[in-house]
């Protein structure tokens, strides 16, 4: 197997706990924690293979370098000019399926935080309030069971199906909306978006961002939600209009948990950071994909993609 020069452009997104030395047997590896737009050409000037998570590789970059293979450390490929890569005979490989369990797990972590009020009761116990209580328990903040709740899923792909399966185990009644209109899964009830929003207690979003899903959830339909409804966004930030959901959180009794925002990292001016009802909002910094097991699967799959290319 011919060794080639490999450049890893944003290694910090993979985590310091991931062993990147597994690529050493495949070529001469240069590792960069981050790569700014102005550094891209410099970092890949002598590489034939690059590994990128979110660093943009556009037509101009391809013209100025000799890259032959672009390995994306993710499933989404919107940071690569795919049409021009094909024209230049540059192969582009992504990785699919590595984070299904991780994303599904965070979906339920956020849902259960809203439902079971764990943070509130943890703080109550640690603060000393429980020690001063005249009774053995505290039910001052009501919590609920998932059993019997209606769980609506927007986007019933691999992740959506995993979430549906787990929610079913909790005793939830599952329905889904296909944003493409092409999913005809018969295991669960297919409904319109309007019906899903009106009747679901919990709504989780697992679809891709495209022209059809941009601002899919906005002021035009947020008013349809049930009282105490929970929306979980594990898709892309711009699927939910952040200005509209922020207004809704401060003016109604709904809850929003999101692992993604429109601009990442989140900007200081984001309306999500200005809401008053902060206990109605949970934000995590795009970590759903990133369990240690998922990241190990990811780098191993990238290694396999490089081996297939260089054989």
Q: List active site positions.
A: 236, 264, 286
**CB proximity list for 113: less than 8 A, separation 6 or greater:** 119, 257, 282
CA gyration radius for the chain? 22
H helices of the chain, in order, are 40-44, 59-63, 82-87, 100-116, 118-126, 158-169, 193-199, 242-251, 292-310
Beta bridge partners, 283, equal: 258
Torsion of CA 208, 9, 106, 267, to 10 degrees: -80
Tell me the torsion sign for CA atoms 205, 206, 209, 210. Answer: negative
Residue 28: phi and psi, rounded to 5, are: -90, 115
**CB proximity list for 107: less than 8 A, separation 6 or greater:** 163, 204, 206, 232, 234, 288
**Secondary structure (H, E, C), 17-57:** CCCHHHHHHHEEEEECCCCCHHHHHHHHCCCCEEEECCCCE
**Secondary structure element (H or E) that encloses residue 131, with its range:** none
CA atoms within 13 A on the CB side of 280: 21
């Amino acid at each position: 197997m011919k060794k080639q020069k490999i450049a890893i452009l944003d290694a910090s997104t993979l985590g310091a706990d991931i062993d990147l030395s597994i690529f050493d047997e495949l070529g001469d590896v240069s590792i960069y924690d981050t790569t700014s737009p102005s550094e891209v050409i410099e970092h890949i000037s002598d590489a034939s293979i690059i590994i990128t998570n979110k660093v943009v590789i556009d037509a101009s970059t391809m013209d100025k370098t000799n890259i032959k293979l672009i390995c994306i450390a993710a499933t989404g490929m919107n940071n690569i000019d795919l049409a021009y890569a094909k024209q230049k005979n540059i192969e582009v490989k992504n990785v699919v399926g590595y984070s299904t369990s991780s994303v599904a797990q965070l979906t339920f972590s956020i849902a259960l935080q809203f439902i079971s009020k764990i943070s509130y009761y943890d703080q109550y116990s640690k603060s000393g309030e429980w020690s001063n209580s005249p009774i053995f328990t505290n039910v001052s903040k009501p919590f609920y069971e998932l059993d019997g709740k209606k769980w609506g899923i927007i986007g019933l792909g691999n992740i959506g199906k995993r979430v549906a399966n787990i929610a079913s185990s909790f005793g939830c009644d599952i329905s889904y909306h296909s944003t493409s209109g092409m999913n005809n899964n018969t295991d669960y009830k297919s409904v319109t978006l309007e019906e899903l929003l009106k009747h679901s207690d919990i709504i989780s979003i697992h679809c891709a961002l495209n022209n059809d899903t941009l601002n899919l959830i906005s002021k035009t339909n947020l008013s349809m939600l049930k009282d105490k409804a929970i929306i979980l966004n594990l898709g892309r930030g711009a699927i939910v209009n952040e200005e509209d959901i922020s207004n809704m959180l401060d003016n109604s009794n709904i809850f929003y948990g999101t692992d993604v925002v429109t601009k990442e990292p989140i900007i200081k001016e984001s309306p999500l950071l200005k809401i008053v009802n902060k206990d109605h909002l949970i934000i995590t910094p795009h970590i759903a994909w990133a369990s240690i097991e998922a990241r190990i699967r990811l780098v191993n799959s990238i290694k396999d993609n490089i081996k297939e290319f260089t054989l």
